[in-house]
Amino acid sequence: MFELLFKYPGPVFSRGHFVLLSAWPAWLLALLITIATVGLAVLTYRQIADAAPKLRNWRVWVLWAMQSAFVALVLLLLWQPAMMVAALTSQQNIIAVVVDSSKSMAIADENGKTREAAALDVLQSGVLGGIQKRFQTRLYRLGGDLTKIEGLGEVQPTDGATNINGGLKKLAEDTADLPVGAVLLLSDGSQNMAEAGGSGIALETLRALGNRRLPVHTIGFGRTEIAHDVEMEGVSVAPSAVVNSRMQAAISFVQHGYAGQTAKIAVRDGDKTIAAREVKLAPNGAMQTEKMFFSAGEAGARSLQFAIEPMAGEENANNNAMTRPVLVSDAKRRILYIEGEPRWEFKFIRRAEDDDPTIQLVSMLRTSENKIYRQGIKDPSELADGFPSRAEDLFGYAGIIVGSVDADYFTPLQRELLREYADRRGGGVLFLGGHTSLSDGGWGASSVSEMFPTFLPAGRNTFHRNAATVELTPEGVDSAIARLLDDPVKNAERWKKLTYLADYQDAGSPKPGAVVLAEMNVGKRKLPLLITQRYGHGRTAILATGGTWRWQMSEPLGDRSHDLFWQQLLRWLVADSPGPVTASASAHTLMDDGNIRLSASVRDAQFQPAVNAHVTAHMMGPGGVDALIDLQLSQDVAGEYSAAWTAEKPGGYLAEVVAQDTGGQKQELGRDTLAFRREDGVAEQFHTEQNRELLQQLSAQTGGRYWKPEDVKDLPQNISYSEAGVAVRTTNELWNMPAVFLLLLGLLVAEWMLRRRWGIV
Amino acid sequence: MRRLQLAAVALAVPGVVLGAVAAQQAFREYPSVEYGRNIPLPPDWQRPGEWTFARLMFPPGPLDGYRGRFDGPWQEGLSLWTQDYPRADRALANAVRRLTRVDARSVEQSVNPDDGDDIYNWPWLYAVQVGEWGLTEKQAQKLRDYLLRGGFFMADDCHGTEEQAYFEKTMKMVFPDRELVDIPNDDPIFHTVFNLDNRYQIPGAEHLATGHKKDGYVAHWKGIYDDKGRIMVAFSLNSDIGDSWEFLDDPRYPAKYSVLGTEIGVNYVVYAMTH
């Protein structure tokens, strides 16, 4: 029908360029049309006043518009309009036919056939034959890699991954010296090996195709939505933890067909379930994120599986779980606790930390005006001169607690060092309430008041030895620091029932960006109890009391609330404090692709970037993988070292990064270990529905077209309109299109009928 | 009307009981066997502090030396536990204030272990004449709970083999599986503020002439440790450290005893607040 009216097929118009073949200038056409329409307007307006005064309204302009359109169209035809379009010459071009051969193509959701079978059917039932009548073809199969094949018989849905990006880029590069006119891709679009650029088509690939003007026509297979499925979308969990710490994971998933039903989510370490709970499923297609708390367990590298138990009648149960590597370390982090007076809080914090194998509390306590009682020191010289005055002495600690100590006890240099400790070194500083703490200790007027997470109140009468009960804020309910019980509701209730604090302090109002995790009820007032904030590269916090010790003494024997709270608070304090060497990886889970970039940030004792270090990574992996690689200093970022490496085999890997000073003493600056994992064939089980959007986007961006399998009749003809390969440009005149004559005729007839209707004929 | 009154009582009684359980007991004074009520309160007695000298109230036992003289209800004072009270308590509190940065309350707190959970509000506890006490099974359980939660107990003024045996017997009610052992010199408790390697017997004021009481000729410094090597119970056998505090400002009592006694008391307080 289209061709009957418009004489040429659609691509002539969609891909061609409009031209005027007449030698007369185009501006003349525009001028004449303007003169004609204005002239008609004047003439019509004047004459209608005499001929039919009643029609001197909008009807006049309708008639004028129709007359003007008629004149304009006739003038346009005089200028000989045409479409110029490039078309591939027969038998001189190659059409690359790429068939997705990944495992997801084995899903039988094409009227009982597998996607692969449906794709082969489409090719064999005329499309491939139609193309081969005009062009040569090259067949490829696409999985994690692109492979040229000799016949469709070599296509089997067995590849463990799909890399459309990489495959098309490779095709463009490999056929650079061949007259490839177009690419035909048959796929479900379930790309799971996307490089930079996420799950879309990378700019680099588009550029490679665009440079050759290669259009990619796509035929999509598979359902765009699965009726009954729960699919894991992602798991966010820290790649490292300390032994027995309370870990938090955010598990995101989407479901179809089970809205409102209850599902069980679980965290497993091997065969052992370490956490599980039931959740109510969100509406169909809505992303749902649930938090899970669990213990990191013993030291070692482990692969934790985060799973949703399969639902009844679920079509794909292979996308219900994800595995993440977690490295559990038993390294002790040292926290410096300076306390200005003996007090019960000090004792009970120390006792709580005695039970934490990952924290060593190094304390200096002013027992009298000039006596310091030190505990937890590694040798007699540690803190022998009091609070450190040099960065290399202070920055070695992973966290600092400042108890009931006057600001004036510190020299200005020490105070600035304390501020730099959080700001530049990235450590955590916790200030406790007390009768010489916060405002009562003069910190509000000190030079480092900016590092506090609150605006400390003026005056020095903010500490009171009176009882205060506690409760969590909504932020506290979500915080791992305050999680005494796994169930968030029960945990919030537990906090409300905790015995009262022995004392409280008004810490002032939180600063913008600070988070209040717990509050105190003091009479009818609420005061912030636990306030945290990020400060520079580190973090600071206030616990506005010295009286949590009552949680230990007045709760029943065996109640772990006090110890758990302090262990979690202090672990938070040091968790993100970097060591001299901080190793990182481009990804902790490699899906089907073993390429990984290892990076290490190396600092010296003063936590300045170390630019003269020798940094190596000892790689250990499955099947006896054992390699030593050198990391090279970055030219862009001081103290950053990196190297690329390939994990050839699937499984868990460990990388131990060691930095050595290349100076005279060649001493070790530090070391760090990270774990990562390569998983092959797993990603293919996810997002198994047809990614039509990706295929449409790919076609649109390359000048091709997305086809449904049932609409491919015109594809062999359509594919020939391409500027790639060996193409000729044809000029297609438009003046003799039936549609033009019909339009001219239609305008005249319509005007005549309107005139009759309005009584001016 | 009567029903209404009964209902009010029924509601009020649990409320009072719960209040007593949850709340810390206020300062209270009892008449003592030595001073009755004749020791004046210091001017700042109402000022709260971080550390309070908590004196354990207990019933007299079979070896009670005051039997026949003070046989009234022990819960009301004028009983064995009030020996040296309150003068010794306030003297140590004053010394702790002067010698350390501990924010000490000027007056003591008498703690009855039978008063609900009140004992848990006072993590430092002192008891006098513990060889003569009559700790009950229920009180022993409470004391065990208190110590395992983190409380510290200083047991003093126990003299001779008979009292020692009785004290050890009662402490077996508290900790059947733990022994009273000699505290070595290098234990932190003797070094928190003062280095107390050189300790000697501290006799009570009544026994200055002999230097000892009963057959307690040699001073021992014993303790019961928890599983992490921290002293929970510090037991000064054959010494009367309470007297050394009580007579701190009495010229008739030798200063050397008060000095050592005070240093031991200060060390014990700071140890209790750091371990």
Q: Read off the pTM.
A: 0.76
Contact A641, A552 (CB under 8 A): no
Quick check: A689 and A226 in contact, CB under 8 A?
A: yes
By Cβ distance, the residue of A367, A467, A553 closest to B123 is: A553
| Phi, psi of A733, rounded to the nearest 5 degrees | -70, 145
pLDDT of residue B6: 45
| Cα three-residue angle B91-B93-B95, rounded to 5 degrees | 70
Q: Are strands A300-308 and A262-269 parallel, antiparallel or unpaired?
A: antiparallel
Residue A419, domain member (yes or no): yes
In a domain, A315, yes or no: yes
Kindly give the residue spans of alpha helices, DSSP state H, lying in A216-343.
Answer: none
- Determine whether the interchain pair A553/B272 forms a contact, defined as Cβ–Cβ distance below 8 Å: no
Question: Which residues, in sequence order, are bridge partners of residue A275?
Answer: A267
Torsion, Cα A272 A274 A277 A282, to 10 degrees, reads -90
- Give residue A681's pLDDT: 79
Residues of A in contact with B99 (CB under 8 A): 368
Partner-chain contact B101 A354, CB within 8 Å:
no
Q: Taking residues A121-125, report their average pLDDT.
A: 93
pLDDT, tens digit, 9 for 90 and up, residues A514-546: 999 999 999 999 999 999 999 999 999 999 999
How far is CA A139 from each of CA A99, A153, A155, rounded to the nearest angstrom? 8, 11, 10
Domain span including residue B100: 2-272
With a cut of 70, say whether residue B11 has pLDDT above it: no
> Which of A575, A595, A620 is a domain's end point?
A575
Question: Does residue A411 sit in the same domain as residue A539?
Answer: yes
The full length of chain A comes to 761
Residues B239, B153: Cα–Cα separation, whole Å: 16
Q: What is the pLDDT of residue A56?
A: 67
Residue A340 lies in a domain: no
Tell me the Ramachandran region of residue B160: left when phi exceeds 0, alpha when psi lies from -120 to 50, beta otherwise.
left
Give the residue-averaged pLDDT of A9-27: 87
CB-based contact, B19 to chain A, within 8 Å: no
Q: Look up the domain containing A533 and give its range.
A: 405-575
Q: How far is CA A450 from the centre of its chain?
A: 33
In-domain check, residue A80: yes
Helices marked H in A663-711 — which ranges?
A: 692-702
Q: How many CB atoms lie within 10 A of CB A161?
A: 23
Q: What was the pLDDT predicted at B7?
A: 47
Structure confidence at residue B23 (pLDDT): 63
- Rounded Cα distance between A479 and B146, Å, is 31
Does the beta-carbon distance from B149 to A351 stay under 8 Å?
no
Are A552 and A595 in the same domain? no
Tokens of B239: 């010494």
How far is it, in rounded angstroms, from Cα A256 to Cα B83? 78
Q: Which of A575, A602, A623 is the last residue of a domain?
A: A575
- Please determine, for residue A369, whether its predicted confidence score (pLDDT) is greater than 50: yes
What's the rounded Cα separation, in Å, for the pair A223 and A229? Answer: 13
Rounded to the nearest 5 degrees, what angle is found at the Cα of A393, between the Cα atoms of A389 and A396?
A: 140
Neighbouring residues of A451: CB distance < 8 A, sequence distance ≥ 6: A418, A419, A422, A423, A429, A535, A540
- Measure the CA–CA gap between B29 and B108, rounded to whole angstroms: 9
Q: Which residue of A has its CA nearest to B148?
A: A557
Mutant choice from A338, A373, A437, A563 vs B, greatest count of B C-beta within 10 A: A373
Quick one: DSSP state of residue A202?
-
A60 and A98 in a single domain? The answer is no
pLDDT for A502 beyond 90: yes
Pick the most confident of A147-161, A330-344, B12-26: A330-344
Cβ neighbour number for residue A290 with a 10 Å cutoff: 16
- Looking at the complex, report in whole angstroms how far the Cα of residue A367 sits from the nearest Cα belonging to chain B: 5
Token output for A752: 């005549």
- CB-based contact, B193 to chain A, within 8 Å: yes
A566 in contact with B at a CB cutoff of 8 Å? no
Quick: pLDDT tens for A463-498. 999 999 999 999 999 999 999 998 899 999 999 999
Within this chain, do residues A83 and A95 fall inside the same structural domain, yes or no? no
Q: Which of A340, A342, A552 sits opposite B274 (nearest CB)?
A: A342
Instruction: For residue range A617-664, list pLDDT tens digits in order.
Output: 999 999 999 999 999 999 999 999 999 999 999 999 999 999 999 877
A29 has pLDDT over 50: yes
Mean pLDDT across B145-163: 98
Q: Which of B29, B33, B31, B39 is nearest to B68 (CA)?
A: B33
Chain B positions in Cβ-Cβ contact with residue A348 (cut-off 8 Å): 150
- CA-to-CA distance for A458 and A442, rounded, in angstroms? 9
Q: Compute chain B's Rg from CA coordinates.
A: 19
Residue found by looking up tokens 């790689």 in the block: A619
- The reply to whether A289 and A423 lie within a common domain is no
What's the token pair of residue A437? 């703490």
Same domain, A137 and A255: no
Q: Looking at A253-390, list the stretches that DSSP marks H as alpha helix, in order from N- to C-terminal side.
A: 344-354
Q: By three-state DSSP, how is residue A547 classified?
A: coil
Residue B270 Cα, gap to closest chain A Cα (Å): 7
Distance to chain B for A355, nearest Cα, Å: 10
Dig out the tokens for A675 from the structure.
Answer: 């774990």
* A587 & A562 share domain: no
Q: What is the pLDDT of residues A661-680, one digit of tens each?
A: 987 777 899 999 999 999 98
To the nearest whole Å, the CA of A404 is away from the closest chain B CA by 11
A142 vs A139: CA distance, rounded Å? 10
Instruction: Decide the pairing of beta strands A216-220 and A525-535.
Output: unpaired
The verdict on a CB contact (< 8 Å) between A342 and B48 is no
CATH number at residue A512: 3.40.50.880
Partner B contacted by A344 (CB < 8 A): yes
- In 10 A of CB A169, how many CB atoms? 21
What is the pLDDT, as a whole number, of residue A47?
Answer: 76
Nearest partner of A247 among A304, A320, A321, judged by Cα = A304
Q: Are residues A742 and A709 in the same domain?
A: no
How does the average pLDDT of chain A come out, rounded?
A: 92
Please report, rounded to a whole number, the percentage of residues in chain A having pLDDT higher than 70: 98
Residue A543 lies in a domain: yes
| Contact check, Cβ <8 Å, A552/B101 | no
The enclosing domain of B157 has a CATH number of 3.40.50.12140
- Check whether A55 has a pLDDT greater than 80: no
Q: Has residue A348 been placed in a domain?
A: no
Q: E-assigned strands of A581-739?
A: 581-585, 589-591, 595-602, 613-621, 625-633, 640-646, 651-661, 668-679, 706-707, 727-733
Helix (H) or strand (E) holding B16, with range, is helix B2-22
Please report, for chain B, how many H helices and E strands are present, in that order.
6, 7
Q: Which residue of A has its CA nearest to B192?
A: A373
Alpha-carbon A53 to chain mean position: 69
Number of independent structural domains in chain B:
1
- Contacts of B176 by beta carbon, 8 Å cutoff, 6+ apart: none
Q: Which residues of A touch B120 (CB under 8 A)?
A: 550, 553-554
Q: Is the Cβ–Cβ distance between A456 and A466 less than 8 Å? A: no
How many domains does chain A fold into?
A: 5
A545 touches chain B (CB under 8 A): no
Decide if A351 and B150 are in contact by the 8 Å CB cutoff. Answer: yes
User: Is a pLDDT exceeding 60 seen at residue B3?
Assistant: no
Looking at the structure, tell me whether residues A245 and A271 fall in a common domain.
yes
Give yes or no for A350 touching B (CB within 8 A): yes
Please report the pLDDT score of residue A665 as a whole number: 74
Chain A CA closest to residue B100: A368
Amino acid identity at A194: A
**Would you say A234 and A242 are in contact if contact means Cβ atoms under 8 Å apart?**
no
Tell me what the mean pLDDT of segment B246-251 comes to. 97
Q: Which of A654, A684, A714 is the last residue of a domain?
A: A684
Range 440-499 of A in CB contact (< 8 A) with B: 465, 467, 499
Do A305 and A284 share a structural domain?
yes
Q: Do A347 and B272 touch (CB under 8 A)?
A: yes
Beta-strand pair B109-111/B54-56: parallel
Q: How far is CA A360 from CA A335, A398, B117, in A?
A: 6, 10, 32
Burial of residue B229 (number of CB atoms within 10 Å: 0-12, 13-18, 19+): exposed
Nearest CA in chain A to B272: A347
A367 to B22: CB separation less than 8 angstroms, yes or no: no
Residue A601 pairs in a beta bridge with A582, A640
**Does one domain contain both A267 and A415?**
no
Structural element, H or E, at residue A316 = none
* A346 within some domain: no
For residue A632, the domain's CATH number is 2.60.40.1930
CB pairs under 8 A between A and B: 83
Q: Which residue of B has its CA nearest to A434?
A: B50
| Predicted local distance difference test score (pLDDT) of residue B101 | 98
From A275's Cα to the closest Cα of chain B, the distance in A is 29
Q: At A147, phi and psi to the nearest 5? A: -130, 130
| pLDDT of B10 | 46
Residues of A in contact with B273 (CB under 8 A): 342-344, 346-347
pLDDT tens track for B44-88: 999 999 999 999 999 999 999 999 999 999 999 999 999 999 999
- What's the confidence (pLDDT) of residue A163? 87
Query: Please, are residues A146 and A169 in contact by the beta-carbon 8 Å criterion?
Result: no
Is the pLDDT reported for residue A193 higher than 70? Answer: no
Q: How far is CA A579 from CA A356, A363, A573, A672, in A?
A: 20, 20, 14, 8
Q: How far is CA B75 from CA A73, B16, B56, B81, B171, in A?
A: 116, 20, 11, 10, 21
Q: Is residue A538 part of a domain?
A: yes
A157 and A296 in a single domain? The answer is: no
In the numeric block, which tokens belong to residue A451?
A: 């590092």
Amino acid making up residue A278: E
pLDDT, residue A85, reads 87
Contacts of B22 in chain A (CB under 8 A): 499-500
